Amino acid sequence: MRYPKLPLTAATPPRLVVRKYRDHGLRWLFNDLESVAELAALYDPSLPLRFDFGRAVLADRTLIPPTLLDTETDLLVDLPFVDPGLLPEIRMYFLLENHMHPERGLPLKILSRMVAIWQTDWDAGENLRARDRDRSLQPIAPFVFHLGTDDWHSSLNLIDLMRGADRLQFMGQVIPAWETRYLSLKQLDRDRLLGGADVLGPALWVLQGQTEATKSYVARTLDSMQAIRERAQTAALRCARAFWFITMMALHGRPRTEWPELSSTLSDESVRLGLVDQSEVTRTMQSMADVWEEEAEARAEARAEAKVAAQLPLLVAAQVAAQLPTQVAAQVAAQVPMQVAAQVAAQVPMQVAAQVAAQVPMQVAAQVAARLAAERAQMLRSVMLRMAEKRFGKLPPEVTTALDSVADEETLNVMFDRATDVGTVGEWRALWPGAGTRATG
């Protein structure tokens, strides 16, 4: 899967990021290699000295399934060494985990994604053109950056997931046993994030407090804005991006009751920063308000549809039972196929979900009428056939054939009622609508 192309030079977030911050916000923050270098330095300050991030290449692909994009972000970076005598380059794979709780299977997830990268490279055209002995794989160094609030107690070594590995001395020689480099946002203190000269730290300082109370969160925001202002003269574009990341994080991640205070704080800070147009801040906040309203409406529609899906089988059964003779109503109501109700529920338009929750709309009833009529007719014919055979014995083939050809529900009801008033199948057949004076004896 490919990440959308996000502009590298824009200080203002594109509409995609504003509206889908949970999917693309972190990717936008790390869309410049200086931020990636600052992230690597949090693991080991020597990494930006050993690798040339100025010539690095950030891949636009992701190994994350679409269903996990709101809880994970990944970065795949091709990094040349400062000293080319070591190796031409290696790859770093950063997985930014936003799960609140640690994931025990993380080493397996990392391995599967590294294998996917290697397999793609192995199958690429350049490798296919090479002779078999010349084909090779690029080294990958995996890193995990945990953004959750819980401490990580699970092992990051693949071998620790193996059953009985701790009792077999030789297992480490035959099973991949590397340990993924791990960093927890929770463990980074204030001085480490705000005390240096980098721009990433202030954004991470606010991200670290995303679950704190309002007063504490606002204090973090002000601290970060001050640090950003101090760096603005030397890194204006990146400081503007950090400001927008903090703004979107606040509007997407904090309760809406905090919006007035946060909006006022961020608007004032945009003036002090001098890099962001205040009117643009206002427009972005309005856009975020629109997103919030759309999401609230979508949730309401989903709840309404769920309510309809739960109630519709009973409504359909009641409708069918009401149109059948009293003596078979209970039997028919119990036989209404669930798949009919499911098909009806699937056809309920989203735009009328709220109305449907209260009653089946006329347009849906019209679409379903033919299907229900056929179902009721079949049930009536089945019940009528069993009842007639109990009264008259085995029916002649021509009678059962004629009965199977009747599809009109009103006609079937008349035939059912008349079967209880006669003594022979001939008399019953003579009383069928349209039969005239013909009889079968």
Read off the tokens for 249: 């994080």
Stated as kind and residue range, the H or E segment containing 430 is helix 425-430
Distances (CA, A) of 17 to 146, 173, 241, 264, 342: 21, 46, 12, 22, 37
Residue 80 is inside which H or E element, if any? strand 72-80
From first CA to last CA, the distance across the chain in angstroms is 74
Rg (CA), the chain: 34
How confident is the model at residue 116, as a pLDDT? 92
Q: Where are the domains of the chain?
A: 15-298, 307-430
- CA–CA distance, 69 with 248 (Å, rounded to integer): 17
Cα 271 from Cα 232, distance rounded (Å): 13
Q: Compute how many other C-beta atoms are within 10 angstroms of the C-beta atom of residue 247.
A: 27
Sign of the Cα torsion 329, 333, 337, 343 reads positive
Provide the pLDDT for residue 35: 92
Confidence at residue 161, expressed as pLDDT on a 0 to 100 scale: 83
Assess contact for 6 and 17: CB atoms under 8 A. Answer: yes
pLDDT at res. 324: 53
b/e burial code for range 161-187 (CB count within 10 A of at least 16 → b): beeeeeeeeeeeeeeeeeebbbbbbee
pLDDT tens, N- to C-terminus, the chain (441 residues): 665 555 545 566 666 676 677 778 888 888 889 999 999 999 999 999 999 999 999 988 888 888 888 888 999 999 999 887 767 789 999 999 887 677 888 899 999 999 999 998 888 866 666 667 777 888 999 999 998 888 888 888 888 888 776 666 566 566 777 778 999 999 999 999 998 889 999 999 999 998 899 999 999 999 999 999 999 888 888 898 899 899 888 888 888 888 888 888 888 888 888 877 777 777 777 777 676 667 667 777 777 777 777 776 666 666 655 655 555 545 545 554 555 555 545 554 544 444 544 554 455 545 556 666 676 777 777 777 877 887 788 888 888 888 888 888 788 888 877 877 778 888 888 888 776 544 444
What kind and span of H or E run contains 263?
helix 259-273
In this prediction the pTM is 0.63
**What pLDDT score was predicted for residue 275?**
79
Helices in 93-212 by DSSP H: which ranges?
106-122, 125-129, 171-174, 190-194, 200-208
